[in-house]
Amino acid sequence: MAPAPSTYSVITLNVNGEKYTLPVDHRTTLLDALREHLDLTGSKKGCDQGQCGACTVLLDGRRAVSCLQLAVAAEGRAITTIEGVADGERLHPVQQAFLDLDGYQCGYCTPGQICSALGVIEEHAAGWPSAVTADVRPEAGTPSLSAEEIRERMSGNLCRCGAYVSIVQAVAQAAEAHTAQSHTPETHTPETHTTRTGTAEDRSAEAKEATA
């Protein structure tokens, strides 16, 4: 029988390019370490069960839910939170797109939405297919980032205000800017009141098909 192990460690976290050394009880999630120990409260605690996406951060450049990530296990990884997304006072194009297109209402889920959108844009640029991609074979190429693709890829981020229509538009605009490698993000023109489409019609389309 092994001796009782120590239940805390002194760890160093690399957050937004800064190194922070802190003692943590091993039970501490990365989300709690960020919010309660480092005072980086941009990442939000929604469900604390990995289901809502409000706590989304980037780990080594990939989006992850920080509520299911133990802080001690994040040592050595590059952590990017919403506080590290902008370039000083200059907003990241994804942030600007959410502002321009009202991609939020109360704003609680927004940091997670934006971090997730950053991941979506990189994953799409890397050629990753999604669950709604008709043909996943590499020869079929990368699907365009349609509204359907964005909705699927962003489905790990819930918005209780229901700002999904604007969120999809914001992600689409940011992705276009990324593709065009725009160097002039301040020229974004706000596009408000574009056509709103229902979000329910495609829900359970699969189920209807299979149970019909």
Partner 1 sequence: MREFGYERAVDVSGAVTLLDTDPDARFLGGGTNLVDLMKAGVERPARLVDVRELPLDRIESAPDGGLLIGATVTNSDLAAHPEVRRRYPALAQAVLAGASGQLRNMATVGGNLLQRTRCGYFTDVTAPCNKRLPGSGCPAIEGEHHNHAILGASEHCVATHPSDMAVALAAFDAVVSYETAHGPGELPLADFYLPVGDTPHLETALPSGALITGITLPPAPVATLSRYRKVRERASYAFAIGSIAAALDVRDGVVRDVRLAFGAVSSRPWRATAAEHALRGAPADAESFAAAADAELAAAEPLPHNGYKVTLIRNLVVAVLTELTEEAAR
Across the beta sheet with 56-59, what order do the strands follow? 18-25, 8-15, 78-80, 56-59, 62-65
**Residue among 75 and 102 whose Cβ is closer to partner 1:** 75
Which residue in 115, 127, 155 sits closest to 30, CA to CA?
115
Tokens coding 143: 């699907």
Which position has the token pair 């890397």? 126
Residue 69 found at the interface with partner 1 (CB under 8 A): yes
Q: How far is the CB of 129 from partner 1 (least distance, A)?
A: 6
Residue 70 found at the interface with partner 1 (CB under 8 A): yes
Residue 198 found at the interface with partner 1 (CB under 8 A): no
Contact mark string toward partner 1, 148..177, x via CB under 8 A: ---xxxxxxx--------------------
Among 20, 42, 45, 59, binds partner 1 (CB under 8 A): 59
Tokens coding 139: 């020869």
Give the whole-angstrom CA distance, residue 84 versus residue 15.
8
Q: How far is the CB of 88 from partner 1 (least distance, A)?
A: 27
Q: Which residues pair with 90 in a beta bridge?
A: 87
Give the whole-angstrom CA distance, residue 18 versus residue 57.
15
Q: Which residues bind partner 1 (CB under 8 A)?
A: 1-2, 4-7, 9, 25-27, 29, 48-50, 53, 56, 59, 62-65, 68-70, 72-73, 116, 119-120, 123, 126-131, 133, 136-139, 151-157, 202-207, 209-212
